[in-house]
Amino acid sequence: MSGHHHLSLKVLLGTALALGVLTVLTVSVAMIHIPSPFNIVVAIAIAAVKAYLVVMYFMNLRNDSKFNLLSFGFSILFLLIFVGITMLDTMFRVEVIPGF
Amino acid sequence: MAHSSNSNLAHHFVDSEQQFDASKMGMWIFLVTEILFFGGLFAAYIIYRAWYPELYIMASSQLNTTMGAINTGVLILSSLTMALSIWSAQNNDRKKTTIFLAVTIICAIIFMIIKYFEYTHKFHLGIFPGAYYTFTGIDHVKAPQFFSIYYMMTGLHGIHVIIGVGLMIWLVIKNQKQAFSSSYYTPIEIVGLYWHVVDIIWIFLFPLLYLID
């Protein structure tokens, strides 16, 4: 809960190293050309893990107030609702390809 | 230390701990709006990619993966040095706080220089957003649309990087005036949260724009 939780040098360096490794991984995975839907899934999954590391360790949300964690969680939830419901429209139109 | 923490405490807070938590909560609420702000552009990206998957594969070949990858590394390094500047402030090390903030600023400037070279190369080819698009190298009617999305997403992100540089210069000046210590470093913490979100946005932009086949 304490907002003044002290950062650990070891944890910060470890997080940066993990982010570097995951960046190399995402570039290498893109080079071996995984078949179509799965390449996007893998790319998003790696990016999500990287974002999780930044949020939890660099931004230290794991030691922060639960309200901040809840706010962040809800922003992701509402982003998914926003994109999901919009796609329920755009993917199921009679005129599939729009003029724009 | 007690004196410096008291001088920073606004009268409507019980103590500096409560003030610090309130500032952080305010910043997290702002970051939620930032995520949803960029979310609109991500939605446009996703919808157009679902409509024209072949366009994204064709158009992405015009983006320089090496430059994108270097920029990803630069931003990760800058996130580390940003966190290290907070760590230094927590340890009352004013000199290191300035050094780490300066490295973060340099990384941000390197990022923008690389972006400048990417943009000017595209402008040279006639790859402009929307109606100003004159490039003929991509055989797809919706090619200008991809680059409109590309410029809007990377452009809005770039504006955030430039704002971040301004905020960090302000932090360095304040730090040199001995404004921060282990008992008061709220502005560094708050700008740090902002900077990490700028990094997170790029973490998604890089694979989504540059790493398509």
Domain containing A48: what range? 1-64
Q: Check whether residue A43 and residue A86 sit in a common domain.
A: no
Domain assignment of residue B4, yes or no: no
pLDDT at A97: 63
Contact A67 B25 (CB under 8 A): yes
Which residues of B fall within a CB distance of 8 Å from A19? 76, 79
Cα maximum dimension of chain A: 56
Domain containing B44: what range? 18-210
Q: Check whether residue A55 and residue A25 sit in a common domain.
A: yes
Q: How many Cβ atoms sit within 10 Å of the Cβ of residue B7?
A: 8
CA distance B100 to B86: 9
Find all residues with CB under 8 Å of B154, minimum gap 6, and list them: B115, B205, B209
The DSSP code sequence of B125-176 is HT--SGGG----SS--TTHHHHHHHHHHHHHHHHHHHHHHHHHHHHHHHHHH
Which residues of A fall within a CB distance of 8 Å from B212? 30, 39
Q: Check whether residue A28 and residue A73 sit in a common domain.
A: no
The model's confidence at residue A99, banded by pLDDT at 50, 70 and 90, is low
Q: Check whether residue A8 and residue A42 sit in a common domain.
A: yes
Domain assignment of residue B13, yes or no: no
Domain count, chain B: 1
Q: Check whether residue A27 and residue A75 sit in a common domain.
A: no
Contact B80 A30 (CB under 8 A): no
pLDDT in tens, B106-144: 999 999 999 999 999 999 999 999 889 999 999 998 899
The model's confidence at residue A34, banded by pLDDT at 50, 70 and 90, is confident
Residue A98 has pLDDT above 70, yes or no: no
Q: Check whether residue A59 and residue A94 sit in a common domain.
A: no
Domain assignment of residue B11, yes or no: no
Q: Check whether residue A33 and residue A76 sit in a common domain.
A: no
CA distance A4 to A20: 27
Q: Check whether residue A21 and residue A36 sit in a common domain.
A: yes
A7 → chain B, closest CA residue: B87
Domain count, chain A: 2
The CATH number for B98's domain is 1.20.120.80
Tell me if B108 sits within 8 A of A30, measured CB to CB. Answer: no
Which residues of A fall within a CB distance of 8 Å from B193? 59
Q: Check whether residue A10 and residue A57 sit in a common domain.
A: yes
